[in-house]
Structure 1
Amino acid sequence: MKISIIGTGYVGLVAGAVFSNNGLNTCCIDIDAEKIKLLSTGKSPIYEPLLEEQISSGIRKNTLTFSTKYNSIADSEAIFLAVGTPDLPNGSANLSYLYGAIDQVSKLIKKDAILVIKSTVPPNTCKDIKKYLEKLALANEVVMNPEFLRQGSAVNDFLNPDRIVIGCSSLDAKDKMLKVYENWKDIPKVITDTTTAEMIKYAANSFLATKVAFINEMADLCHHFDGDINMLSYALGLDKRIGKGALKAGPGYGGSCFPKDVSALIHVSKNTGNHILKAVHQANSQRPRLMVEKIKKIVGNVKGKKIGVLGLSFKANTDDIRFSPAIKIVSLLKDAIITAFDPAAMDNAKRVLPDIRYATTLCEVAESADCLLILTEWEDFKDIDYNLIFSKMAKPVIIDLRNLVDKHKLRKIGFSYFAL
């Protein structure tokens, strides 16, 4: 089966690479010529565990190709659209890239091919696309097939999803999609209409964002009453009605999905009195400022003080800094002298934080520092030689906003250790 994927971001690239290793002849298309040139050599432009191996394997099998030209879709049975739908200033989703891709696809698509939307889009978008195609004298079926990947574990998530959601309105479209996913035999397939499939994606991300905002407020209460947020999170997660996912207290959620999806759902539901998501969005927006207030209570006036920062990406195992709480916190500490380190995200961070210093090693971050902040939950930060770190710091103060490191170990060394 021949498929094409438009867009080589996190979703499109992971999908294309994994599909190509599961028997589908896959062409990934992107307008970025430099990116396509890099991908054609088997290299990934984004940091994502196991992705480069999947890309190289697909190229070796001759089932994965990359192109800047849309003419490769002419013989595809399914064309997946995985372009960005970023939020606009009013919170709504920007669909201009999606419709721009549809205009290109419409010139070449086979009459019996299906158009599969993997981009996150507001409810009824697929119906609108169907009407748009009809105005272009095209009768192609439009399918909604949302993705639920977590950056940092995207390849494994695509290979082993909790469910596969397929929104369609015809048996032919359903059969083609089941053929696409025929190697995912034991995975539940949720077959529904396109609007419900669109809603499932928004609802999933919004619910997870709500859990994050909730556990962060519980962390604040634990601080006030001298409770243990780690034990509270553990106990909540054991409740099967709640589940353990997204119950890790921290400086707030970020990335390319939760912030924009919550904003978009607030926008489309503005006439329905959606109060919960507004509160979630507000609580998360305030989180970095609250973390900076916590830092200043511990450190005092930060002006001129040397602060080491461990972690800049919005979460571990990714180089993505979009809506990263770490970036926001560093920005709010502009009066301090910041030295930062991240295993993958420093090149991206330099574009938005050009005025701070970037360390080449973990130990360099601690040199003469008055305080060390842990802002991203990289496993690397657990295994640091903290005895060496202790010897390098001017003041051995660690503020761990991810509750990552063993407090007993650090306090035994002699650190003043603070966490959520």
Structure 2
Amino acid sequence: MDRQEIAVFWFRRDLRIIDNHGLYQALTSGRPVLPIFIFDSQILNDLEQTDSRVTFILHEIQKLHDIFEQHGSTFWIFYGKPIEAFKRLLTEFRVAEVFTNQDYEPYARERDKEIYEFLATGNIRLRAFKDQVIFHKNEVAKADGKPYTVFTPYSKKWLSLFSEQDYKPFPSEQHLDKLHQTEPLRKYHHPDLGFKHGPYVVPPNELDASLLESYAQNRDFPAVSGTSRIGVHLRFGTVSIRKVTAEAAIHSTTFLNELIWRNFYMDILWHFPHVAQSSFKPAYDFIFWQNSEKDFARWCEGTTGYPLVDAGMRELSATGYMHNRVRMVTASFLCKHLLIDWHWGEAWFAEKLLDYELASNNGGWQWAAGSGCDAAPYFRVFNPSLQQQKFDPEFEYIKKWVPEYGTSAYPPPMVDHKMARERAIRVYKAALSER
């Protein structure tokens, strides 16, 4: 065992050195810091073997390891269950404290509780800090202390609190001399996790001021490079939310509003963890879905006969990304036109999206299905053809992803919009009127 008393920093969804709150707290705690990362087998075992997120994580882990090695330290990497990782860690090092950043998903909360209780048996404290959101837990609440479930009043309160505080970065990168020094250095090699390389095109993690300033005008047009594409970096913490929010506050209130939506869904997941498995509004769990596997397969493949829907689904399969406007259209089409349970679509997006984040994905799908907090009313049914006319009038986006559109090879619409809309309203109304 290494007899020097150390602190540990546990990287999770915060894979960066710069402005990392928990890492800063660890490095300024007065003890040398050993950075660790755990490839959680309980998560990896549920993923497809071509999941690009694993490739992304491995790449970022390598970058971090190189930085730590340059500072005379190492990156302790473990594959398996987190509790087993910590049991082994304590046999190799004399750990006084463990630092990390807060995670809000139901599984993460259970995992952290188990680790907290295990460490406590050895009088070792686990300290978790706010890092992936501007506000968390009960910081944005109503006057009576209850959480908001409607976005507009939440956003007003969020903005008022944000204007009252100065969100300075945590200069963690300036304290890397406090890392635990190891001799000899361990050489890092990618663990063989059995994953193959999937769709993997990662955008830069820097925001362009001109893009932000034109964001409100361009964000809804999928043929235009008008969105930030920074979701994957926020998901894995390769960029600081404080930095992104500060830039948004300067250059784009519309983009800032999108960041507030992200924070809102994080808070909803924290206060109402049942949404990860069921509808926020319980009555919507009783909708009589048709759940045709054949129809679902056509939606996944992008052969519905609605070109905007098909373009989005093909973009997703090919790249691990889908334009935000098109995400709403494809989600609405699955739930309303095909009467397929939103859980199916949520799971498909979770499998395919490189920027997948439980809170936002779940919130977006429940919004489209009408089952969530502050959701689109059930009688609002997107018309995919009108959406195309409005947001891809020259078929630029569609022609990129559906090259056979306009030829005999392209299928006719699998369902009539007018009929599907009326059917959806009828089925929803019948389910909700009984509750």
Higher helix share: 2
TM-score by length of 2: 0.32
Length-normalised TM-score, structure 1 = 0.33
- The higher-RCO structure (CA 8 Å, 6+ apart) is 2
| Bigger fraction of residues in strand | 1
